[in-house]
């Protein structure tokens, strides 16, 4: 399994970005997918996850601003981010759990004031 994130970049506070994660391999639809983030000097933390049946969980810090979704036909998971804040600045990683844990290489999101 390989995960490739895209969509990161530099955005002003209050702006929006949509991250994408493309997964290789089969049976994508049965796996729980997640977006995690790691800010400089901090531990990696959960942003949002989506199960195989579409149930979602969000970190309190992003609830109401971020939306996770998936397109099983395209083997992709998305993170729509709105009302971005400086504290959302981090490297965002895609995660897949399938017996073992797989991570993407990450995509940088920088929010400027």
pLDDT digits (tens, 9 = 90+) for 31-63: 999 999 999 999 999 999 999 999 999 999 999
DSSP 55: -
The pLDDT confidence band at residue 26, using thresholds 50, 70 and 90, is confident
In 3D space, the residue among 73, 62, 51 whose CA is nearest the CA of residue 19 turns out to be 62
Question: How do residues 67-113 score in pLDDT, each as one tens digit?
Answer: 999 999 999 999 999 999 999 999 999 999 888 899 999 999 999 99
Residue 101 has φ and ψ, to the nearest 5°, of -100, 135
Cα Rg for the chain, rounded, in angstroms?
Answer: 13
């Amino acid at each position: 399994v390989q995960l490739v994130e895209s969509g990161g970049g530099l955005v002003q506070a209050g702006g929006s970005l949509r991250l994408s994660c493309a997964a290789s391999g089969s049976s994508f639809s049965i796996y729980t997918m997640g977006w995690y983030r790691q800010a400089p000097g901090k531990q990696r933390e959960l942003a949002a996850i989506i199960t195989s049946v579409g149930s979602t969980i969000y970190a309190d810090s992003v609830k109401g601003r971020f939306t996770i979704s998936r397109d099983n036909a395209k083997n992709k998971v998305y993170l729509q981010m709105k009302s971005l804040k400086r504290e959302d600045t981090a490297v965002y990683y895609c995660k897949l759990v399938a017996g073992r844990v797989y991570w993407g290489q990450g995509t940088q999101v920088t929010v400027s004031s």
